[in-house]
Amino acid sequence: MRLHSLALRDFRGVRDRTVRFRALGTTVVVGDNEVGKSSLVEAFGLIFDLPDDSKSTRIRDIQPVGQDVGPEVTVELSLGGRELTYAKRWLKNRSTELTVVEPDGRRQSWTGREAHNEAERLFHEHVDPVLWQTLMVSQGQSLVLPTPADAEPLITAVTAESGTPVDGASMPLVTAVEHEYLRYWTPRGKPTGDFARSGKAVAAAELSFQQALQAMEEVQSDIRRAERLTLDLEDVSGRLAEHLTGVEELRERKQATDEILLRRDSVRSRAETARARLENHTRTRLERERLLDEVERFTKTEAELAARRADAELVAKTAAETVQAAEAALAEVVELKDVRRTEVQAAERRVSDLMDRAELDRLIGQQTELVEVRARIAAAGTVLDRIKVDDAMVAALEDARAAVVEARAALAAGVPEVTVRRLGAEPVELSGTGLEGNVPPDLGFDESTEVLVSGELVVGVPGQVEVTVRAGGEAATLRSRVDDAVRREKDLLKKAGVKDVAAARELLRKADTALAELNEARRTEKSLTAGGDPGERIAVLTARLGVEDATADDAADERGGKQPAVEGVPGQMSLFAEFASPHDTLFDDFEEPEPEPDDLTGAQRALDSARDALAEVERLLADAEFAVAQARKAADEDRSEAQNARARSELAGERLAAAVESLEAARSVLDDDAVGAAEAEAMTEVEAVLEELTAVQEQADAAGADRVADELAHALAVAKRLQDERDRLRDALRTTEGRLEQSGRDGLATRRDVAELELAAVRAEHESLQRRAEAARRVHETLSRHRAEAQTKYSEPLQSRIEALGRSVYGPSFRVWLDDDLAVAERELDGARLRVEALSTGAQEQLAIITRLAISHLVSTGEGSVPVIFDDALGWSDKARLRDMGALLGRAGDHGQVIILTCMPDRYEYVPKATFITLDG
């Protein structure tokens, strides 16, 4: 089939459009989104699928919304050697027209339903639906790889090319075998149909037979169980009668011993009452003794605590006086520390002034040195500014000099050297061009000269002879090289401002010396200015020293005339007797201040002395503070101890008073002598009751009264257990006898015989079906094996064609493997073999396009060929792949019809010989 043109009118958003396609080659239909590209493919499918009177929603969907018009499609195509013109309009003014031109030129026409039926017949007669769906790629389906195993034209093509028929000449046999196989087995090899039902009937019959056998076995078991239960019931009933006789005897013994137990309980109750009375009198005696002991002990304790209280109060008073003395001494040391701190501050100010003056002298010297260094920097900079020669310039001059020497050496070796000597009295004249060396215009007697001739030399004797020497063609080139080298050397010397290379080297040496001097001076300047500009620091120090000097003199005068004498403080050393050595002379010369030194060393020494004195005072202050802290701590401890002694003394008095009060209250109830007599009387009563209890207990033990109750309870429990066992056996026997009676009524033996006969019948039928099913499976497996071998052979043409097309895109390492449906299952590239599902999206799309082009190539020469249509493909390919795929699509057009619909024409700019059709909105 070949599609020539397609016309749409009132079809979705298309008002009226006709598109013509190349019968052989690649046609690219370009248009923006929603311009109607995909509608072309949809219209071609509808015109053959649905008649003009169809009520399908597919027809309603293509009618423009809000317009009472009938969608119309006209197609021109070649089909089976015939030329068809097929037009159809739906919904409004419905019509169908078909015109067929036979290969011999005859023309036939149909209208209405006849036209539709004839077109449908021709289409299905010459177009394989599987091949058509395989080669028509709708929008969004470019990633789906084709599975064309059911495409009859492809099978015919690969069969013809491989020479191996798919099913030989036995296709009806294959169908019959397949049909027979599917009667008994599913495609996955499981039983089905009558064979599966027969197997289930055998299983059901076996189950019924087993159930009947099990029922008979249960009847036999019930008979044996009834016999065993009868014997067990007789045994348990006999043992129960014997045990009940023993229970009656135990009841009689218990009645005889109950009177003894009642008397023992009465005596035991009186003994407990007497014992409780004795314990009460004993507690009363012990409480009286405890109260007497407490009164005596609390009296002694109260006296001791009163004495401790007096001692503690005296110690606390002494500690408070010690704290006051220590605090007074601390105050004196604090005043002395303030005096020493003032002296240290004055010494520090004097040291600071002297250091500022020394710093000012150093900065003035540094400023002078800085002026000299900056003069050196300016001088070195001036020298460097005048010198234009650097290392690169000297290197260039040396290279130019070497080039001149080399060119002249080449010239001397490549041009003639002429020696002219005058021998006679006649003058010899020399002239010419391109001469090397100093050539005189004429020669004196017996004078000679040597000349290198790179141009022309004329030697003449006036009136007698003239000789011309000319150099060859190569000499001009050598001469040109010499001139170029000399000119370059002169230009460089002029640029450097020197006369030769030696002068340039001398200037470079001077520049290096000046640069070293400049760097050294700059380093010195950087060192001198590392802490800032000395001038600014000098100005600051000068201003500060001027103010400080004036204030220092005033301060000195003030110190000399207004400083109070230290010895005027009365009792200054009286409080330090505990903390200082008797030989300590810290305050001996305090009243005689030393004069301030004028040099920094003396001022620093005075400052150190003042700091030592301050440190000594701070040590005394630390000792005094420690003494005060210790005194306060001891005072706090003594005061706390006194308070505790007072509290303990008061508490002891309260306890003594409470103990005396409790003793008097107890004596008012019962005096001390009556307490002892009451305890002795209670003891006598307890001893008498215990003797009576012992006699009654001996009588109960002799009669075994305590054991009779337990023995009777145990015997009753055993009787209850035997009764329960008898009842259980009786119920079980009745149940078993009922089942046996019911089994006799059900006829279980007859049911077992019937189940056995039914099982034999269904087994015979199933074995017959099983033999036929196994035979069908063996035939099917044998035939399938041979078909698989044949399929391997006939899939080779398609595999070879896919690999041939793919190698033009991916290179010589491209290989593919096909599955049973002739679909590509695996791809190998550069030795890496992958499943198709593992490939990238772009690679899957490219492989799908290559496969369809290979199928089209195989069927393009047969009558069942169809166009290859791609709607919006190659959306996942990079630029290099687009170039290779474009070339492949162009070559595919040489063998068949390829139609491409796209909104991105740049993807197909590499398709050679393609026809581009642009659709306007």
Residue in 126, 49, 162, 186 with CA at minimum distance from that of residue 777? 186
Mean pLDDT lowest among 73-77, 698-702, 774-778: 698-702
User: Is the pLDDT score of 637 beyond 90?
Assistant: no
* 109 dihedral zone (left: phi>0; alpha: psi -120 to 50; beta): beta
State the average pLDDT over residues 448-458. Answer: 76
pLDDT band at 434 (very low <50, low <70, confident <90, very high): low
């080139």: which residue's tokens? 477
What letter does residue 886 receive in the DSSP assignment?
Answer: H
- Closest among 98, 62, 64 to 83, alpha carbons compared: 98
Strand residue runs (E) in 324-464: 417-421, 428-436, 442-443, 448-461
pLDDT (0 to 100) of residue 553: 43
Which pLDDT band, with edges at 50, 70 and 90, does 9 fall under? very high
User: What is the average per-residue pLDDT within 890-916?
Assistant: 86
The pLDDT of residue 586: 40
Report the alpha-carbon distance of residue 770 to residue 195 in Å, rounded.
Answer: 7
CA distances from 123 to 51, 444, 555, 823 (A): 14, 120, 129, 26
Instruction: Determine the average pLDDT of the residues in 321-335.
Output: 82
Cβ–Cβ under 8 Å, residues 571 and 583:
no
* Six token digits for residue 433: 């061009």
pLDDT in tens, 314-324: 887 787 888 88
Check: pTM over 0.75? Answer yes or no.
no
Of residues 649 and 588, which shows the higher confidence score?
Answer: 649
- What confidence score (pLDDT) does residue 170 get? 43
Q: Using one digit for the tens of pLDDT, what is the confidence trace for 787-819? A: 666 556 657 788 888 888 898 888 889 999 887
Range of lowest pLDDT (235-244, 540-549, 618-627, 860-869)? 540-549
**pLDDT top residue among 578 and 455:** 455
Report pLDDT for 209.
78
Among 708, 707, 692, 696, residue whose Cα is nearest residue 262: 696
Residue 575 has pLDDT above 50, yes or no: no
Q: What are phi and psi of 316, to 5 degrees?
A: -65, -40
Helix (H, G, I), strand (E, B) or coil at 449: strand
The enclosing H or E element of 505 equals helix 501-528
Question: What is the reported pLDDT for 565?
Answer: 35
Closest CA to 507 of 384, 399, 396: 384
732 CB-near residues (< 8 Å, 6+ apart): 225, 229
Cα atoms in the Cβ-side hemisphere of radius 13 Å centred on 292: 9
C-alpha radius of gyration, the chain, whole number: 69
Q: Please give the Cα distance from 497 to 736 (Å, whole number).
A: 142
Coil vs helix vs strand at 26? strand
DSSP 8-state symbol, 84:
E
If you average pLDDT over every residue of the chain, what do you get? 79
Q: What is the mean pLDDT of residues 689-698?
A: 81
Structure token digits, residue 637: 């401890």
What integer pLDDT is reported at residue 564 of this predicted model?
38
In the numeric block, which tokens belong to residue 5? 């043109």
Q: Which residues contact 615 (CB under 8 A, 6 or more apart)?
A: none
Predicted confidence (pLDDT) at residue 109 exceeds the cutoff of 90: yes
* Model confidence pLDDT, tens digit, residues 159-187: 666 555 544 434 456 677 777 888 888 88
Task: Give the pLDDT score at 11.
Answer: 92
User: Which stretch, 108-122, 268-282, 322-336, has highest mean pLDDT?
Assistant: 108-122
Identify the three-state secondary structure at position 902: strand
Q: How far is CA 514 from CA 186, 378, 395, in A?
A: 106, 11, 20
For 428, how many CA atoms within 13 A lie in the half-sphere containing its CB?
20
Report how far residue 521's alpha carbon sits from residue 517's, in angstroms, rounded to the nearest whole number.
Answer: 6
pLDDT for res 157: 67
pLDDT for 50 beyond 80: yes
pLDDT given for residue 828 in this prediction: 92
For residues 697 and 264, is the Cβ–Cβ distance under 8 A? yes
State the pLDDT at residue 552: 37
How many angstroms separate the CA atoms of 240 and 574, rounded? Answer: 118
Q: Note whether 148 and 855 are within 8 A (CB).
A: yes
More confident residue, 100 or 390: 100
- Residues forming a β-bridge with 32: none
User: For the segment 485-507, what is each residue's pLDDT rounded down to a tens digit?
Assistant: 888 888 888 887 888 888 888 87
Q: Can you give the pLDDT at residue 577?
A: 40
Given this model, what pLDDT does residue 110 score?
95
Burial of 754 (0-12, 13-18, 19+ CB in 10 A): middle
* Cβ burial, residue 526 (10 Å; 0-12/13-18/19+): exposed
Task: List C-alpha distances in Å: 139 to 28, 31, 311, 901.
Answer: 15, 14, 116, 9
The Cα–Cα gap between 427 and 439 comes to 15
Closest listed residue to residue 892, CA positions, set 876, 871, 914:
914
Q: Binning pLDDT at 50, 70 and 90, where does residue 86 land?
A: very high
- The pairs formed by 401-410 with CB atoms below 8 angstroms and a separation of 24 or more are 401/489, 401/501, 403/485, 403/488, 403/489, 404/482, 404/485, 404/486, 404/489, 406/485, 407/478, 407/481, 407/482, 407/484, 407/485, 407/486, 408/436, 408/482, 410/478, 410/481
- Whether the per-residue pLDDT at 568 is higher than 50: the answer is no
Place of tokens 């329960």: 724
Return the pLDDT at 372: 84
Each residue's pLDDT tens digit, 179-210: 788 888 888 888 888 888 888 888 888 888 78
Q: Point out which residues pair with 28 in neighbouring strands.
A: 900, 916
Task: Write out the DSSP string of 200-229.
Answer: HHHHHHHHHHHHHHHHHHHHHHHHHHHHHH
| Two structure tokens written together for 434 | 């391109």
Task: Specify the higher pLDDT residue, 125 or 74.
Answer: 74
Taken as a whole, the chain contains a residue count of 921
Provide the pLDDT for residue 159.
63
| DSSP assigned state of 54 | -
User: Which pLDDT score, from 0 to 100, does residue 83 have?
Assistant: 93
What's the pLDDT score for residue 507? 79
What's the rounded mean pLDDT across residues 670-676? 77
**Each residue of 747-758: pLDDT tens digit?**
666 767 777 788
